[in-house]
Chain A
Amino acid sequence: DGGITQSPKYLFRKEGQNVTLSCEQNLNHDAMYWYRQDPGQGLRLIYYSQIVNDFQKGDIAEGYSVSREKKESFPLTVTSAQKNPTAFYLCASRKAGGSYEQYFGPGTRLTVT
């Protein structure tokens, strides 16, 4: 089955610790995205990548970092500099070069105490 996987589903961390969220896709999509969703709100873009070894900041990149060493993988690190890290994190991907649908993974719920 083709799709996007995110792991883990739930993640708990102490304040001050960095944590890395995994996102893998086997759809052969060039573009990948990370969003953050807070209760009752829409999605806000953290980072996106249109091609391997390249990525751009979204609207709320402060306190986050990413890498794109492989086409299939786009891990997100939530650093201790992120002031309110507790949220639902969603990874997405799409084909490049045209007007295509975005497909989403199942999400990771991060709780920082």
Chain B
Amino acid sequence: KQEVTQIPAALSVPEGENLVLNCSFTDSAIYNLQWFRQDPGKGLTSLLLIQSSQREQTSGRLNASLDKSSGRSTLYIAASQPGDSATYLCAVESEDSSYKLIFGSGTRLLVRP
């Protein structure tokens, strides 16, 4: 059964720092991996979707990488800003349960001014 883990559970950094959020999954047979942002009390906003055949995706200051064989993905945030403070969740769509996403429990990020 696919399991998704995000470490650390919480992270606090000063403004301007580059940072990396980690996501690991136990079964490498995936269709894709998706990174989301969630602000307190709000829904999820999709940040990046990486297909299983891709190694990385970029959107502005965000770069997500995928290493299927090792079951890892990272979300790199460049030049962090206080507005980046939120919870970041990753989710995978496994080949044995298509259409369904399995979520990690998220990393709560605080960027201090």
Assembled-state Cα–Cα distance A41/B107 (Å): 10
| Docked-complex contact B32 and A99, CB < 8 angstroms | yes
B63 at the interface (CB under 8 A from A): no
Q: Which of B34, B45, B52, B100 contacts A45 (CB 8 A)?
A: B100
| B89 contacts chain A at the CB level, 8 A cutoff | yes
Bound CA–CA A44/B104 (angstroms): 10
Interface pair B49/A101, CB less than 8 Å apart = yes
B105 and A104 form a contact (CB under 8 A): no
Q: Does A106 contact B (CB under 8 A)?
A: yes
Grouping DSSP codes into helix (H, G, I), strand (E, B) and loop, the A interface class, with mixed when no group exceeds half, is strand
* CB-nearest residue of chain B to A106: B43
The answer to the question of B110 belonging to the interface, with a C-beta cut-off of 8 Å to chain A, is: no
| Complex alpha-carbon distance, A94 and B32, angstroms | 14
A2 within 8 A of B: no
Q: Cβ of B101 < 8 Å from any Cβ of A? A: yes
Take A42-B89, A42-B105 as given contacts and tell me if A104 and B44 are in contact as well, using a CB distance cutoff of 8 Å: yes
Residues on B with beta carbons closer than 8 Å to the beta carbon of A45: 100-101
How distant is B42 from chain A, measured CB to nearest CB, in Å?
6
Besides A43-B103, A104-B45, A106-B43, 11 new A-B residue pairs in contact (Cβ under 8 A), listed by A number:
A41-B105, A42-B4, A42-B103, A42-B105, A48-B99, A92-B44, A99-B49, A99-B52, A101-B46, A103-B46, A106-B42
B residues with a Cβ closer than 8 A to A are 4, 9, 31-32, 34, 36, 41-46, 49, 51-52, 89, 91, 93, 99-101, 103-106
Pull 5 A–B residue pairs with CB atoms less than 8 Å apart, ordered by A.
Answer: A43-B101, A50-B99, A90-B43, A102-B101, A109-B41
